[in-house]
Structure 1
Amino acid sequence: MASPGAAGSIRLDKLLWFLRFARSRSRAQAVVEAGHIRLDGRRIARSSCAVHVGQTLVLPVGEQIEVVRLLTLPVRRGSAAEAQACYQKLTAPVTTDNRAIKDDGNAVHPNPAPPPNQ
């Protein structure tokens, strides 16, 4: 239960669980306590840290890093659409081409060899 002075805030672990960034509240606590979350640029290691509307979170999601701004506080763990309505993604979608062969049939080389000196 939130303390009376924390009106308009929510615990960080509860927020991550409500917004579906963690499958359970205990997993959310583990991610926070491991130091993987930043709140307005500061590394957070306490899962009881209060989060307010307008703050920016940087957190790992799978193998990517997401930057989100909190628009509203969720009141429950609802559907994915309900959760996504509570925040705005600030990171651009990553568009990497993971193919090994181009459309023309040539191999993709991430670091092409420099041309030989003549």
Structure 2
Amino acid sequence: MSQTDAAAGLRLDRWLHHARLFRTRTLAADAIGRGGIRLNGNPCLKPAQTVRHGDTVTVSAHGRVRVLRVLDLGERRGSASVATALYEELDG
């Protein structure tokens, strides 16, 4: 990903899908709409919210809460090992 692309960011629903936190973008968008996702501590209700390198994403889904620091945006949805390189798990 180029510096220009990284500075611009990526839609939150796309990043959640790339990071394999949700099976589809639709499921990610639904979770955002229900208020189960926070970006930098602020509730998100719009799937088009922009996520950037260094942001903190809090995900309440699948019976647990995860706090993640964005390390990379990703080009596309890849394997599980590629997906885990997109974020760092923080202590919640």
Answer whether TM exceeds 0.5 for this pair.
yes
1:86 partner letter: L
**What is the alpha-carbon distance in structure 1 between the residues aligned to residue 72 and residue 58 of structure 2?**
17
Structure with more of its chain in helix, by fraction: 2
Identical columns (%): 35
Tell me if the contact between 2:36 and 2:61 (Cα under 8 Å) persists in the aligned partners. Answer: no
Distance 1:5 1:64 in 2: 31
Q: Are residues 1:49 and 2:33 paired?
A: no
Higher normalized contact order (CA 8 Å, seq sep 6+, divided by chain length): 2
Superposed CA offset, 1:16-62 (max 9, x none): 11110001111011000111100001000000000000000100242
Greater fraction of residues in strand: 2
Show the counterpart of 2:85. Answer: 85
- Structure 1 vs Structure 2 CA RMSD: 1.9
Structure 2: give runs of 5+ residues left out of the alignment.
Answer: none
The structure number with the bigger radius of gyration is 1
**C-alpha separation in 1, matches of 2:6 and 2:84:** 23
Q: In the comparison of the two structures, how many residue pairs are matched?
A: 89
